[in-house]
Chain A
């Protein structure tokens, strides 16, 4: 249209009219209401703020972030980066954040796997399987997570000591000191090989994308898996082999009153991971089940009528449609795992809440301690939702 004026037939809004200083003008009322509400909220916040400043002054509590550079002097049992009680509070809090992320990431992966499996099993045609899964989901969802954590922790602590440890396989010990697993001595070569695997995964992703684009152009499907195997398996293994193939098994063994060597999973981490995974898997199972059920029966039948084998029906037709229903509630479950990992403080796993709590008890700086906890969780929550929103928009239905 060459005409820039809006055709009145398509105008959805009434024409603008000047603001009238009268109570009967809706916009004037709106502005007055907003001023009142913001004023009240502002007054409350100011009142709380001035009280706090006064109280801090009276009680001689220091404020500010200076304590972050002081020596923490708090012992931490588990750390991913080197830590010593003589390090600063900042270092201690970083260790706490990493511990939170560790349990959240492992928990999200395990709960997704277990939950998806349970959700599919609940739809099984085998009556017994579906009933067992239903009972499990019902029990797990109707008990407080904290109770479940305390229960698992009590069970783990009730296990026999290292000398009578349960030994289901060579090098695997389960005792009240936690779980011991065989491992191998980690040297630089392994880190390089791992880096190659990651690079291979990224390469595979782009290769898959290119193959898909070519298939869209000429209709010819191209196998991705051979190059995936080469990039993610053969190249790293070859590199490892040519760098001398170092491999020294590190199998835990009983020395005196405790174990030495191997990989240790502490009872605190184990109980927290177990509780979080089993609890959240119950919720994820219901989400996955609802997602699969939401796909119209006609889609299954149409795919089978095209002659697709059952596995490809699932992969190519049903799952992509189910994912659209599954992703949004799954996001909130991932957020829940992360937030629920804060219950670690009840069983003594030193996550950010536990360490920040100790910090605020030692320094007396309650406001800064709580602010650290909230900032950390807000950042994590925001990142997870941003990522999941991005993923969701990628798989969303592209409409005309």
Chain B
């Protein structure tokens, strides 16, 4: 076998891989130009992207107007924006109205309070998102923060002027509706989900009826109900304000959807867990609180976050019954004749705010999903 040993002693000279299969060129060949059809699609798509991107940049930045001068009466003069219509955006409407869009009719000199409230909400979300805070103390943190938020919004203590609820508006309302909605809907959802899996027929029937009834109708009909029917339900003289009524409707709505998510977690748990808890002689509530719920809730955190994103978006529906949330504030900001016709700019800005919140939550949820599955994927 001398011939083979000879050839083995002298290795073939090393050659580089073909230039077209490595580096960015190789990547482009594999992912963008792998066939005739793919090349044509890539080039056509790239052409349109560049074309529309240039058009958008022109509209949003190059030709945009950021400020408008005041006219003789001291009102903003939007004629320059009107001449520019179709060519460039009129961000002056945002410059002029951003405080109104964010905080509604809240007294101007007190705007630091709703601003602080928004920051508190964001801080609360961040703390709740961190796994090291997933313990019982989180409930206390929520209770404390929500109390501080209520104090800040209403005022009337610590030298802060009292602000009635009908002057609240803008982003804080959106955050309040979504967060308080979740905080109250979640315990309700757990009870309903447990009830729906209960062996007691009457309780099960009540829970099924509630969930299916709420899930079968649109949120708007519940909001209408809250705005026109709740006053009829209550005894004479007892009156609750519009925001609270909408909040109740949102809680009832969210409760039904969250209950189904929680029920998914309860069903995903293996039967052995229930049997083991029974074998230990735990009572129903001990079993539920110490064995079942901690595991079931952990399973459904990603879908819970997704459901929460849905509610965050759905709070915008209160516009229809005239509650002053972020979207309503934006829509009202352009009612004045001089700002009419600049809706697109306002909606783009509001969309950006919603997008930041929802995108943060959805990327968090998908990250969490991979993280939580890591232990189970061996």
- Give Cα distance in the complex from A345 to B358, angstroms: 25
Does B165 sit within 8 A of A, measured CB to CB? no
Question: Nearest residue in B to A360 (C-beta to C-beta)?
Answer: B228
Q: Which chain B residues numbered 45 to 70 have a C-beta less than 8 Å away from chain A?
A: 45-46, 49
- Give Cα distance in the complex from A38 to B201, angstroms: 11
Q: Which chain A residues numbered 330 to 388 have a C-beta less than 8 Å away from chain B?
A: 339-340, 342-343, 345-346, 353, 357, 360, 366-367, 369-370, 373-374, 377-378, 381-382
Looking at the complex, which one of B32, B224, B234 makes contact with A126 (CB distance below 8 Å)? B32
Is the pair A38, B206 in contact by a Cβ cutoff of 8 Å? yes
Is the pair B34, A132 in contact by a Cβ cutoff of 8 Å? no
- Give Cα distance in the complex from A170 to B134, angstroms: 63
Is the pair B203, A158 in contact by a Cβ cutoff of 8 Å? no
- Give Cα distance in the complex from A138 to B354, angstroms: 12
From DSSP, what is the main secondary structure of chain A's interface residues? helix
Is the pair A125, B202 in contact by a Cβ cutoff of 8 Å? no
Min CB gap A121→B, angstroms:
10
Question: Nearest residue in B to A160 (C-beta to C-beta)?
Answer: B86
Does A142 sit within 8 A of B, measured CB to CB? yes
Q: Which chain A residues numbered 33 to 74 have a C-beta less than 8 Å away from chain B?
A: 33-34, 37-38, 41, 48, 51-52, 54-56, 58
Of B232, B319, B351, most buried by chain A (CB within 10 Å of CB) is B232
Map CB proximity to B onto A4-37 as digits: 1 under 8 Å, 0 otherwise.
Answer: 0000000000000000000000000010011001
Looking at the complex, which one of A56, A129, A154, A357 makes contact with B232 (CB distance below 8 Å)? A56
- Give Cα distance in the complex from A143 to B354, angstroms: 6
Is the pair A141, B220 in contact by a Cβ cutoff of 8 Å? no
Report, as a range, how many residues of chain A touch the other chain: 35 or more
- Give Cα distance in the complex from A136 to B331, angstroms: 25
Does A256 sit within 8 A of B, measured CB to CB? no
* CB neighbours of A139 from chain B (8 A): 355
- Give Cα distance in the complex from A173 to B358, angstroms: 37
Is the pair B313, A143 in contact by a Cβ cutoff of 8 Å? yes
> A343 with B359: in contact, given A38-B206, A147-B351 (CB under 8 Å)?
no
Map CB proximity to A onto B309-328 as digits: 1 under 8 Å, 0 otherwise.
Answer: 10001101101100000010
Does B31 sit within 8 A of A, measured CB to CB? yes
Question: Nearest residue in A to B31 (C-beta to C-beta)?
Answer: A127
Question: Nearest residue in A to B345 (C-beta to C-beta)?
Answer: A154
Does A128 sit within 8 A of B, measured CB to CB? yes
Does A155 sit within 8 A of B, measured CB to CB? yes
* CB neighbours of A145 from chain B (8 A): 313
> A128 with B32: in contact, given A150-B347, A373-B217 (CB under 8 Å)?
yes
Does B350 sit within 8 A of A, measured CB to CB? yes
Does B18 sit within 8 A of A, measured CB to CB? no
Min CB gap B20→A, angstroms:
17
Min CB gap B11→A, angstroms:
36
- Give Cα distance in the complex from A46 to B229, angstroms: 16
* CB neighbours of B354 from chain A (8 A): 142-144, 147
* CB neighbours of A128 from chain B (8 A): 32, 41-42, 45-46
Is the pair A154, B343 in contact by a Cβ cutoff of 8 Å? yes
Is the pair A343, B41 in contact by a Cβ cutoff of 8 Å? no
Map CB proximity to A onto B213-257 as digits: 1 under 8 Å, 0 otherwise.
Answer: 101111111001100110111111000000000000000000000
- Give Cα distance in the complex from A342 to B218, angstroms: 7
Does A206 sit within 8 A of B, measured CB to CB? no
* CB neighbours of B49 from chain A (8 A): 132
- Give Cα distance in the complex from A55 to B230, angstroms: 11
Does A290 sit within 8 A of B, measured CB to CB? no
Does A146 sit within 8 A of B, measured CB to CB? yes
Does A192 sit within 8 A of B, measured CB to CB? no
Is the pair B309, A142 in contact by a Cβ cutoff of 8 Å? yes
* CB neighbours of B218 from chain A (8 A): 339-340, 342, 353, 377
Does A390 sit within 8 A of B, measured CB to CB? no
Does A151 sit within 8 A of B, measured CB to CB? yes
- Give Cα distance in the complex from A377 to B214, angstroms: 11
Min CB gap B282→A, angstroms:
14
Which are the 5 A-B pairs with shortest beta-carbon distances? A154-B343, A142-B358, A127-B31, A339-B218, A144-B313
21 pairs, A vs B, C-beta closer than 8 Å: A33-B200, A37-B202, A51-B232, A51-B233, A55-B233, A125-B31, A126-B38, A126-B41, A126-B42, A127-B32, A129-B45, A142-B362, A143-B358, A144-B354, A151-B347, A154-B344, A345-B320, A346-B320, A353-B224, A366-B228, A366-B229
Chain B contact residues, CB within 8 Å of chain A: 31-32, 34, 38, 41-42, 45-46, 49, 199-203, 206, 213, 215-221, 224-225, 228-229, 231-236, 309, 313-314, 316-317, 319-320, 327, 331, 341, 343-344, 347-348, 350-351, 354-355, 358-359, 362
